[in-house]
Amino acid sequence: MTAMVHDLGIRRGHALRAAVERGLAGTADPVVGLLDVAGVEHSVAELRAAFSTPGVEVTHTFAVKAASLVPVLALLAECGMGAEVASPGELALARAAGVPADRIVLDSPAKTVEELREALELGIAVNADNPEELARIDALREESARAGRPSASPVGLRVNPQVGSGSIGAMSTATATSKFGVALRDPGALEWVLAAYADRPWLNRLHTHTGSQGVPLELMAAGVLAAYELAERINEAAGRQQVETLDIGGGLPVNFGSDEVTPSFSDYADVLRAEVPGLFDGRYALVTEFGRSVLAKNGTVLARVEYAKSSGGRPIAVTHAGAQVATRTVFVPDAWPIRVLALDAKGSEKTGEPVVQDVAGPCCFAGDLVARGRELPLLESGDHVALLDTGAYYFSNHFAYNSLPRPAVYGYTVRPDGGVDFAPVREAQTQAEVVAESGGGLPPLRRAGA
C-alpha span between 170 and 328 (Å, rounded): 11
Encoded amino acid at 372, one letter = R
pLDDT at position 173: 66
C-alpha span between 71 and 118 (Å, rounded): 23
C-alpha span between 209 and 290 (Å, rounded): 10
The fold of 8-35+297-428 is Lyase, Ornithine Decarboxylase; Chain A, domain 1 (2.40.37)
Q: Which residues contact 211 (CB under 8 A, 6 or more apart)?
A: 219, 220, 223, 249, 250, 251, 252, 253
Instruction: Annotate 188-255 with three-state secondary structure.
Output: CHHHHHHHHHHHCCCCCEEECCCCCCCCCHHHHHHHHHHHHHHHHHHHHHHCCCCCCEEECCCCCCCC
Size of the chain in residues: 450
C-alpha span between 171 and 208 (Å, rounded): 15
pLDDT at position 160: 87
CATH class for the domain made up of 37-294: alpha beta
Distance (Å) of CA 30 to CA 41, 319, 433: 28, 9, 18
Encoded amino acid at 20, one letter = V
- Considering the entire predicted model, what is its pTM? 0.94
What is the Cα 19 distance to its own chain's centre? Answer: 25
Per-residue pLDDT of the chain (450 residues; tens, 9 = 90+): 344 456 999 999 999 999 999 999 988 899 999 999 999 999 999 999 999 999 999 999 999 999 999 999 999 999 999 999 999 999 999 999 999 999 999 999 999 999 999 999 999 999 999 999 999 999 999 999 999 999 999 999 999 887 766 565 655 566 666 777 898 888 999 999 999 999 999 999 999 988 777 688 999 999 999 999 999 999 999 999 999 999 999 989 999 999 999 999 999 999 999 999 999 999 999 999 999 999 999 999 999 999 999 999 999 999 999 999 999 999 999 888 999 999 999 999 999 999 999 999 999 999 999 999 999 999 999 999 999 999 999 988 999 999 999 999 999 999 999 999 999 999 999 999 999 999 999 999 998 876
pLDDT at position 2: 42
Backbone angles phi, psi at 439, to 5 degrees: 85, 20
Q: Do 68 and 31 meet the contact criterion of CB atoms below 8 Å apart? A: no
Domain boundaries, the chain: 8-35+297-428, 37-294
C-alpha span between 263 and 268 (Å, rounded): 7
